[in-house]
Amino acid sequence: MAEADFEAPLLDLQKRIAELRQFPGDAEREKQAVRLEAELEQGRREVFAKLTAWQKTLVARHPNRPYTLDYVAALFTEWTELHGDRRYAEDPALVCGFALYKGRAVAVIGHQKGRDTKQKIYRNFGMPKPEGYRKALRVMQLAAKFRRPILSFVDTPGAYPGLDAEERGQAEAIAFNLREMARLPVPILVLVTGEGGSGGALAIAVGDRINMLEHSVYSVISPEGCASILWRDSGRAPEAAAAMKITAQDLLGLGIVDEVVPEPSGGAHSDHEALFKSVDALLERQLAELIAQEPASLPASRYDKFRRMGRLGREFVELGAS
């Protein structure tokens, strides 16, 4: 992905700082580097505090944002990945397994996009096929059987729309996951870390707590796709992004998500360690809240949570009709 225009001045500063750091022991250059670092931090705060919906979409797609396996390495121990859906094949676009989180056994599922060209092709750019969703459900059902909480990390442009995926029942696999996740009697925590693309995201996002990173997006279709359908012009994607209300802040206001996790001043891609600390605090707190609830009550409260979504939209419809 080409760097977004709004980040260009920040990248110039980073480059100048890196050049100065090539001369360790030079007091004058060190002084200049420190001054530029303060300037860079201030610039990041100013730029990222006023991003548009389209700019947030670009940040959400940044190739250096942490992916699921990065969170696994940073927050979990004794990770054991499971493979295959026991029906057709393994799908590397979704990683699923079991691990320990602060000594507690949990299930972890999430999208994995890949960084270099080879990995992106192997991971299918984070777009799962039906076997990926069936693998995820298999692991979640195992988690329910052994009473292990489920932590889901969402970051996908959407479910893979290819002919082979459709032939193997892509829509059915997603729909089946939605129903079955609603029934699982264990805590389910969801975190949208980048792109939350349509049913491809929702198929692993029916949870008791839905959270988003500050500069992530969650929508039924990409801004480019929306613009192509409405105006037959994908170039109007920035306009579509603003109208669709896809940012974490928009969705928090609409009651779709429960919490927004702050990102470092330059976005999640600028400081992984700082982000992991924020995510860790959120997961620990929410997991403790949900574990304290009676397991049998979780499906009913989860059902009520999703039934409440869209109530504001219905009120607007009724108001317009009158």
Name 86's Cβ contacts closer than 8 Å, sequence gap at least 6.
134, 138
Query: Helices 8-20 and 27-48, interaxial angle, to 10°?
Result: 160
Q: What tokens appear for 195 in the block?
A: 């792109």
Q: Name 213's bridge partners.
A: 261
Give Cα separations from 151 to 136, 187, 249, 260, 314 (angstroms). 11, 8, 22, 16, 31
Q: Residue 322: its pLDDT value, please? A: 46
Q: Residue 238: its pLDDT value, please? A: 94
DSSP string, 32-43: HHHHHHHHHHHH
Q: Name 111's bridge partners.
A: 94
Q: Name 104's bridge partners.
A: 101
Q: Residue 4: its pLDDT value, please? A: 62
Which uninterrupted H or E stretch holds 191?
strand 188-197
Taking only the tens of pLDDT, the chain with its 322 residues reads 344 677 777 777 777 778 777 777 777 777 777 777 777 777 777 778 889 999 999 999 999 999 999 999 999 999 999 999 999 999 999 999 999 999 999 999 999 999 999 999 999 999 999 999 999 999 999 999 999 999 999 999 999 999 999 999 999 999 999 999 999 999 999 999 999 999 999 999 999 999 999 999 999 999 999 999 999 999 999 999 999 999 999 999 999 999 999 999 888 998 999 999 999 999 999 999 999 999 999 999 999 999 988 765 555 555 555 4
Q: Are 96 and 134 in contact (CB under 8 A)?
A: no
Q: Residue 38: its pLDDT value, please? A: 76
| Structure-token match 């931090």, residue found | 41
| Structure-token match 């705060």, residue found | 45
